[in-house]
Structure 1
Amino acid sequence: MFKFDWKRLSMAAGLSLTLIAAGCGSDEGGETSGSEGEGSSGEANYSEEMNYEITGIEAGAGVVAAAQTATEEYENLAGWEVATSSSGAMATALGEAIENEEPIAVTGWTPHWMFAKYDLKYLEDPKEVFGGEEQIKTMVRQGLEDEKPNAYKLLDQFSWTPADMEKVMLNITDGAEPAEAAKTWIEENEDKVSEWTDGVEDVDGTEVELVYVNWDSEIASTNVVAEVMKQKGFDVTITPLDNGPMWESVAEGEVTGMVAAWLPATHGDLYEQHKDSLEDLGANLEGAKVGLVVPKYMDVDSIEDLQPAE
């Protein structure tokens, strides 16, 4: 039994599912200043239209913290705010903006199905506030290898690519239940799965609990790992939590582990807090990235192309 109710309540209170709508506005005389929106006919001031607001995900996520830092580090983002919501609300707001061909800037990451569905681009980050490429790592509670060696071995051997993850994510986005999308991917990738289960003995109902932050990427990975473990005889529970409680639950030994640790930037602060109380099994995915993302139809290429609040 997962004894973490107060943290769930805290998460529920802290998450706002309010959709972030882009503010409307226009410049005076149809002209803009600086590099943003310049053209032969004078285009809209994107920053003003967005109400000088970046659409974020959950408060406490590293990409949100980096976006908040960007508003301090970049002089042209003076007066900007990062509006926190949830990953689902962010994706919904992005889709609505694209449908209406409106400007929007969101805290984004790869792998994510939105890059397969929409024409998007990362804004260049000259000050490197968002860092470079990231890894997604597997973290487990201390003592797991001795107590449940087969669970430990399978989690330690789990590794796949952004393309693998995005296939599962797209299937879910298209309407499949996460568990069914996981089963479909497993059936189509038996060779890869056999590498994860190499040397792992079948068990009879050994209990495992995996936690994850409720992002599309982590829904995909956690459901895939859970299904593979079920096929080996494990009794698997998966529990969505906010970022902080996810790390705390593993570090305090209340759950088995997670395959959802984004490092070094996104979960960097949480890793530093808890690294001595859990075991790092290394990367399960390489080449992840975070940053500010906009639709390609927006005529901006860099964070520095945005304009300060008036």
Structure 2
Amino acid sequence: MLKKWLGITLALLFLIGLTACGEDEKVDENAFVGDKVDYEIIGIDPGAGIMGQTNDVLSEYGLKEKWELTESSGAAMTASLDNAIDDKEPIIVTGWIPHWMFIQYDLKMLKDPKKVYGGEEKIKTLIRKGLKEDMPNAYKFFDQFHWEPEDLQKVMLKIEDGQSEQDAAKEWVENNEDLVNTWIKGVKPGNGAELRVPYVAWADVIASSNVIKYVLENKLDFEVELLQVEPGPMFASIADGSADAMIGAWLPSTHAPYYKKYKNDLVDLGVNLTGTRNGLVVPAYMDIDSIKDLKAEK
């Protein structure tokens, strides 16, 4: 009998110990946000302008000592965000508008009172020197290309939901003929002329580049080769004439170093999309509103 009683007592003590350990592992809801996310910000590829900006943010807001910016990729960042939201866990990621995640999830971009991210940005179209003379109709198309963040985000979400890039582009173009007609107005067919368009593997630039490829090939009879590269080579290829046009230049902040380096060797056709922003993004359920809230008070 004594042996049985001791066995039951030990089992109870073991269960109590497990429960206590489980409670210790839970995140304190009242804990500082840094403790909740292990002082980690999930970033994207290291060559992206937003990564340099975020490192500047850590310095300007006095966060460098404790916070870490983790390099990954756009896909890995959104996968981490998706997993956290599924479990309603805290997370901080680098983000930008336009992006399909702002349609898919309830998110907020943290306020940046010091304007380290530079406020609102614009996306520009840049072409090689000589394109206007060599291919005036291609030049005219790129000069007339302009749309809104909502248009781009719709294409991005179609791709994220599983459509191929060209199928998503085709569906969007068919549903937005009035806007597309403003891009191709007065543009004569290319008769199979080849265009090389570099792009970076960011969701927005993938979507926009595939849309112009579809329009140029199916409405204007050009042949378009999309070239996936890093930001530096994207600018360099336009500057040295090995590529013809790019539509994913984020300025004045994200791609500022590349633009400054190559601006005298390319042609700037101006803005094709306005209303873009970079910043730190969190799920709406997190009780934090500003980057300055990431610094614990001493």
Name the TM-score, length of structure 1 as normaliser. 0.85
| Aligned ranges 1:222-301 → 2 under 5 Å | 222-231=209-218, 232-301=220-289
Percent identical residues: 47
The answer to whether the aligner puts 1:157 opposite 2:144 as a matched pair is yes
Q: 1:309 to 1:104 in 2, by over 3 A?
A: farther
| Number of positions where the alignment pairs a residue of Structure 1 with one of Structure 2 | 274
Question: What is the distance in 1 between the residues matched to 2:257 and 2:142?
Answer: 23
1:110 to 97, 112, 120: 97
The answer to whether the aligner puts 1:302 opposite 2:290 as a matched pair is yes
Identify unmatched segments of 5+ residues in structure 1.
Answer: 1-23, 31-41
Question: What is the distance in 2 between the residues matched to 1:74 and 1:214?
Answer: 29
Question: What is the distance in 1 between the residues matched to 2:47 and 2:107?
Answer: 24
Query: How far does residue 132 in structure 1 lie from its aligned partner after superposition?
Result: 1.1
The DSSP-based 3-state class of the residue aligned with 1:260 is strand
The DSSP-based 3-state class of the residue aligned with 1:75 is coil
2:66 to 75, 79, 91: 79
Equivalent residue, structure 2, for 1:37:
none
Query: How far does residue 77 in structure 1 lie from its aligned partner after superposition?
Result: 5.1
CA contact (8 A) 2:138 2:190 kept: no
| Aligned ranges 1:87-236 → 2 under 5 Å | 87-231=74-218, 232-236=220-224
1:75-125 per-residue CA deviation (whole Å, 9 max, x = no partner) reads 255321211111111111111111121211111000100000111001111
CA contact (8 A) 2:41 2:69 kept: yes
Question: What is the distance in 2 between the residues matched to 1:308 and 1:207?
Answer: 56
Name the TM-score, length of structure 2 as normaliser. 0.88
Question: What is the distance in 2 between the residues matched to 1:242 and 1:308?
Answer: 36
Question: What is the distance in 2 between the residues matched to 1:239 and 1:197?
Answer: 23
Question: What is the distance in 2 between the residues matched to 1:134 and 1:99?
Answer: 31
Query: How far does residue 60 in structure 1 lie from its aligned partner after superposition?
Result: 2.3
Aligned partner of 1:223: which letter? Answer: N
Larger radius of gyration: 2
Equivalent residue, structure 1, for 2:48:
61
Question: What is the distance in 2 between the residues matched to 1:229 and 1:128?
Answer: 38
Question: What is the distance in 1 between the residues matched to 2:33 and 2:89?
Answer: 9
From the two aligned structures, give the one with the greater helix fraction.
2
